Amino acid sequence: MSGDLIPFLQNVANGLLIGGVYALIGVGLTLIFGVMRTINFAHGEFVVLGMYCAIVFNQALGWDPYLSLVIALPAGFLVGVLVQRLVLSIIGDAPEESSLLATLGLSLIIANSLLLTFGGEPKSVLVPYASSTITMAGEVYISVVLLLAGVATVVAIGGLYLLLNRTEIGRAIRGTAENRLGAELVGINTKRVHAMVFGLGTMLAVAAGVALIPLLFASPTTTGGVFTLKAFVVTVLGGLGNIGAAIGGGLLLGVVEVLGASYLTSEYRDAYGLIAFILILLFRPQGLFGRTVQRV
């Protein structure tokens, strides 16, 4: 009995930790959609930008990825704000399809610019503690890298919670999300809120990229798409626009992927999330917890 339990707990633990990072990515996406009704197809590319940021600083200065957050976070925020100001705000209230296409274009631009700058070879960051583990309850081994990612996730989401619920800006954001017109009537500068929110969303994505890079190889043109898709799976699982649900969705995806790969065939690891995604779109479009996708 306990022979099966340990590996199972191991898997669940791993799944939760990696799910935390997925949650981070998903929260960024769902925040953007919830406040701006924008479908950000370039979200995964921002994750990749975070990855390359860590790679660059690691190769040039030997920095640990988490150290490069000092640069990556503000840079990510800034890029997000710029993108929103220069591109997305022009689209304004046009149908969601426009933002989908515009951000699709952005994702191609970012991905291919990265390709031109860094070449096509997959890159990663090898940290000295890459194979270290911590043991919990005597028998469950948790990789230090994953654990750090989990910590980063908690810190980031905790910070976001504080921002949204304890600050003036947070109130403005929540107001705009609920009712844009109403928010403007009470004097909230929704344009500034939109720019901020997009910046926040991309910042979270960048942070996730930094946390992930010790775990995998980044390839300029394919990795972004993978994470964009995962982000959508996560947010739809939870319900677009619902942050708490995105967290739940992320954790769920992480666990489903790890368990699915262990107990069922591992080649279809990515497929489980996709199938769940389609099923939810079809049968419970409001997500497992939330309410947004509308059916015809």
Partner 1 sequence: MNWNAVGIALMLAVGVVYPFILPGYMTVGITILLFVGWATAWDTLGGWTGQVSLGHSFFVGLGAYVVALGQNRYGLAPWWTVLLAIGAAAALAYVWGRITFGLRGPYFTLSTIAFAEIFRLIAINEKWLTGGATGVFIASLPEPFGIDLFSRWTQFYLALAFAIVSVGLVALISSRKLGYELRAVREDENSAMAAGINPTAVKLKAFMLSGALTAVGGGIYGIFLSFLEPHVLFNVLLSVQIALTAIIGGRGTVWGPAVGAVLLVVAGEVFRTTFAQANLLIYGMLILAVVLFLPRGLVGELSRRLVRRRYARSIKS
Contacting residue, 5, 70, 78, 96, with partner 1 by CB under 8 A? 96
The residue range among 71-79, 181-189, 210-218, 266-274 that interacts with partner 1, by the rule CB under 8 A, is 266-274
Are the beta carbons of 147 and 17 closer than 8 angstroms? yes
Interface residue with partner 1 among 11, 40, 58, 107 (CB under 8 A) is: 107
- Those residues with Cβ within 8 angstroms of residue 296's Cβ, 6 or more apart along the chain or in another chain: none
CA distance 164 to 158: 10
Q: Min. distance of Cβ 90 from partner 1 in angstroms?
A: 6
Tokens of 211: 């946390």
For the bound state, the minimum distance from the C-beta of residue 252 to partner 1, rounded and expressed in Å, comes to: 16
**What is the distance of C-alpha 99 from the center of its chain?**
18
Instruction: Check residue 291 for interaction with partner 1 (CB under 8 A).
Output: no
**280: buried, middle or exposed (CB in 10 Å: 19+, 13-18, 0-12)?**
buried
To the nearest 10°, the Cα dihedral for 163, 165, 168, 172?
A: 100
Smallest CA-to-CA distance from 34 within 209, 174, 177 is with 177
Q: Which range touches partner 1 (CB under 8 A), out of 55-63, 85-93, 152-160, 192-200?
A: 85-93
Among the listed residues 1, 137, 181, 296, the single contact to partner 1 using CB under 8 A: 296
Binding characters for partner 1, 206-235, by CB under 8 A (x = yes) = ---------------x---x---x--xx--
For position 106 contacting partner 1 by CB under 8 A, the verdict is: yes
Amino acid, single-letter form, for residue 7: P
| 206/236 with CB nearer partner 1 | 236
Please select the residue that binds partner 1; options are 105, 122, 158, 159, rule is CB under 8 A: 105
Residue 120 binds to partner 1 (criterion: CB under 8 A): yes
Helices 43-61 and 190-212: angle between axes, nearest 10 degrees: 50
Which of 270, 284, 288, 289: binder of partner 1 (CB under 8 A)?
Answer: 270
Residue 113: CB minimum distance to partner 1, A: 7
| Cβ–Cβ < 8 Å for 269, 260 | yes
| Interacting residues of 39 by C-beta distance below 8 A, sequence separation 6+ | 33, 96, 99, 100, 103
User: Which listed residue (67, 71, 144, 293) binds partner 1 by CB under 8 A?
Assistant: 293
Contact between 39 and partner 1 per CB under 8 A: yes
Among 75, 101, 151, 259, binds partner 1 (CB under 8 A): 101
Q: How far apart are CA 209 and CA 258, in angstroms?
A: 19
Residue closer to partner 1 (CB basis): 57 or 272: 272
Residues β-bridged to residue 43: none
Instruction: Output DSSP code: residue 268.
Output: G
Count of all residues that appear for the chain in the document: 296
For residue 264, state whether it binds partner 1 (rule: CB under 8 A): no
Among 5, 78, 90, 130, binds partner 1 (CB under 8 A): 90
Distance CA 77, CA 73 (A): 6
**Which residues bind to partner 1, rule: CB under 8 A?**
39, 87, 90-91, 94-98, 100-102, 104-109, 111-113, 115-116, 120, 221, 225, 229, 232-233, 236, 265, 267-268, 270-271, 274-275, 277-278, 281-282, 285, 293-296
